[in-house]
Structure 1
């Protein structure tokens, strides 16, 4: 019995120990309502501070813009006056080729299409005798190319035609042929000049002959007549016959007068009048010849010249091929100068002005300098804001190709501080009861309000200087408060 009772006591003791352990464990898992509330309450907030910095602030406008070539235009030759189909026979340029002034842009029916710079299109063929603003534009262009069109005015003269002739010879083509009728009139006028010159020469010869002295035989005969008359007078005086003497004296006077006339020269008034008439006729013939020559000077057919606003330019598209026919635009050319166009809102527009510097970021990441060339109100359906045109500075050929057609980042500095200034984040600024600006400085755990004057604000910072109180680099200013995680979220997790 004693052995059985011992086993019973052991079992009871083991159960009691197990119950005690279970009770202790359960006690650790029991949370009172007060404890639960304490554990789920939000923690005390604490200030978030940042140090006051010394930094240079830069206010800038950052936007993006599309790169394009300035002034793209379509080249449309005037081929309506051609007598044959406008077949392209050569000189077709490749896309990307640069075209310069005074060169053959294309060859149509064996004739060049010369490209020149000018605002007015080639709307008619030009020839000597014409006038107008298109003539003046042509003469200005010829003079710019080092050709001499004579006086630069609105009159197409023979000198203008000579300059046009030299232009075509310079690029290796025969000059345009003059009008056939004008050429025939010039030939006839030149024949008239030749005839008038012959008449003048003949009249001059006649005058020379009339004004020359007598031949020796004529002079000797006249002298002999005088001598004979004197001998007859001497014989009459010997005879004493007054009548014979008087007759002999008359004969002497006549012979002497005839000798004097012969020695003094002949009357050439008739020959002189004939020469004057011949010279007048020659002058008139030459004037007619000059007029005809002006009309028959080198013309400029409309089909052989095209004007574009500026040169040099780049060929963007070619719409013709050798052997094909011209029908409208033969190619599209754009200015060799690239521009970047960006659109900004009204607020940014107020900060910008022409000639302001711009940093242009190339697709490769490098930057090139540029300037604002123009600011205009955006036009077109649905357009808003303002279009800003930026002209890049000097570019390398590689940069030109990289920029062409790209969309690039533009940074436009608007304002900057003069070196480093005290700066705080914008979040550190608060407004006082009187509208003054303040920052809250934390010193040794104690917050102190310092009134400040705010200068330039940029890049999320504001330039500040203390008005009432002290503020220095490294001082900690309050920018907000922080707390632990969301208490509601913690309570849900606890539940």
Structure 2
């Protein structure tokens, strides 16, 4: 995915509004607020008008997204040896099952957000112990208390687990024997082949989640769009739009492309946003596909709005609109709010729904 954000209608409206404001100041005398100009001198063309409208105003921005299974993660080996088994690409691996095997011994998938980073043995305490014990209990092993202490009782349960896996019954859990993921995973690709030698730090396979998701990469400048649980609209390749919700937000650092001298360029920081769609069945028939994701950056409900081009820059500062009252007109100062879709939120004395305002041309 490119991650490039198309220019928002808000920005276009604001830029257009500034240009029109300048033009409006130039035609002040011609449209006659206070100048008394003869319409005949303006080609007998009456000034254009618009109506103050009450509506919901939304500042929406569209980003490029990728339909798939969410962010891709890499499982790296923590043991040296020969890769003897790999799950098929596209297959699903759940808790307690082998993610791959080294020297014909399983490396098991467990659930959790904290990576395995040290050997667990009697006397060790910490959050990683509690995470492992929760998994051990979920797999049906008993006789220990799920807490942050790795006791002799935990070691006894681990020996039972190791026996079932065909591993040496040490009662200790080495970090190279387990891999943690948030939930069951889908194998995306292999980084090695069965029979290859591996060593600590070498990538073995890539995996994703199992739910169909949309992933969007935003520039840091557009971070304001990334709000957890925010509602978005996903436009599919066939033109349909489905509702979605921002589920996860992560900051990722992408390595720069290698230059002619072989050195990597400057790293780039991106905001990776994952969107879950409300109706997964709507995604049937699509595998990997590009989609448009419409974020609503701001919204104002039930507000009075006028075209941006109706705003006038006042000499004393701020903005006003020219209110048409029969053949006469007067300038009314207004306070502006949200700009979107070529309109702007306004409040001010004598500004009500249905009021007619002049739109300078």
Equivalent residue runs for 1:83-482 within 5 Å: 86-88=82-84, 90=85, 92-118=86-112, 119-121=114-116, 131=124, 137-148=131-142, 150-152=144-146, 153-155=148-150, 157=152, 159-166=154-161, 169=164, 173=165, 175-178=166-169, 305-322=177-194, 324-327=195-198, 328-336=202-210, 338=213, 340-343=215-218, 346=221, 353-364=227-238, 365-371=240-246, 373-374=248-249, 381=266, 383=268, 387=271, 389-394=273-278, 396=280, 399=283, 402=286, 406-418=290-302, 421-435=303-317, 437-442=319-324, 446-456=327-337, 457-464=339-346, 467-468=349-350, 473=354, 475=356, 477-481=357-361
Map of 1:54 onto structure 2: 53
Supply the distance in 2 between the matched residues of 1:62 and 1:308 (Cα, whole angstroms): 36
Deviation per residue, 1:409-445 (Å, 9 max, x gap): 2221512222xx543211112134433643334566x
**Rg bigger for which structure?**
1
Supply the distance in 1 between the matched residues of 2:82 and 2:251 (Cα, whole angstroms): 42
Q: Does the CA-based 8 Å contact 1:439-1:478 persist in structure 2? A: yes
Supply the distance in 1 between the matched residues of 2:223 and 2:101 (Cα, whole angstroms): 48
Look up the SS of the partner of 2:305 in the other structure: strand
The runs of 5 or more residues in structure 1 that have no matched partner are: 1-41, 179-296, 482-495
| Deviation, structure 1 residue 332 | 1.1
Q: Does the CA-based 8 Å contact 2:306-2:344 persist in structure 1? A: yes
| Deviation, structure 1 residue 96 | 2.1
Supply the distance in 1 between the matched residues of 2:175 and 2:344 (Cα, whole angstroms): 65
| Deviation, structure 1 residue 64 | 0.5
| Deviation, structure 1 residue 301 | 6.3
TM-score (norm 1): 0.50
Deviation per residue, 1:445-492 (Å, 9 max, x gap): x35124153454322113445625x766273x33234xxxxxxxxxxx
Map of 2:75 onto structure 1: 75
- For this pair of structures, how many residues does the alignment match? 301
Supply the distance in 1 between the matched residues of 2:250 and 2:118 (Cα, whole angstroms): 33
TM-score (norm 2): 0.65
Map of 2:32 onto structure 1: none
Supply the distance in 1 between the matched residues of 2:88 and 2:305 (Cα, whole angstroms): 57
Supply the distance in 2 between the matched residues of 1:397 and 1:108 (Cα, whole angstroms): 38
More helix by share: 1
Deviation per residue, 1:82-141 (Å, 9 max, x gap): xxx6251x4x322222221111223444433322234233655x67x5746565543332
Deviation per residue, 1:177-213 (Å, 9 max, x gap): 44xxxxxxxxxxxxxxxxxxxxxxxxxxxxxxxxxxx
Supply the distance in 1 between the matched residues of 2:345 and 2:117 (Cα, whole angstroms): 61
Compute the RMSD of aligned alpha carbons. Answer: 4.1
The runs of 5 or more residues in structure 2 that have no matched partner are: 1-40, 256-265
Q: Does the CA-based 8 Å contact 1:158-1:298 persist in structure 2? A: no
Distance of aligned partners of 1:109 and 1:52 in 2 relative to their CA distance in 1, 3 Å threshold? same
Supply the distance in 2 between the matched residues of 1:141 and 1:438 (Cα, whole angstroms): 65
| Deviation, structure 1 residue 57 | 3.2
More strand by share: 2
| Deviation, structure 1 residue 362 | 3.2
Supply the distance in 2 between the matched residues of 1:317 and 1:404 (Cα, whole angstroms): 14
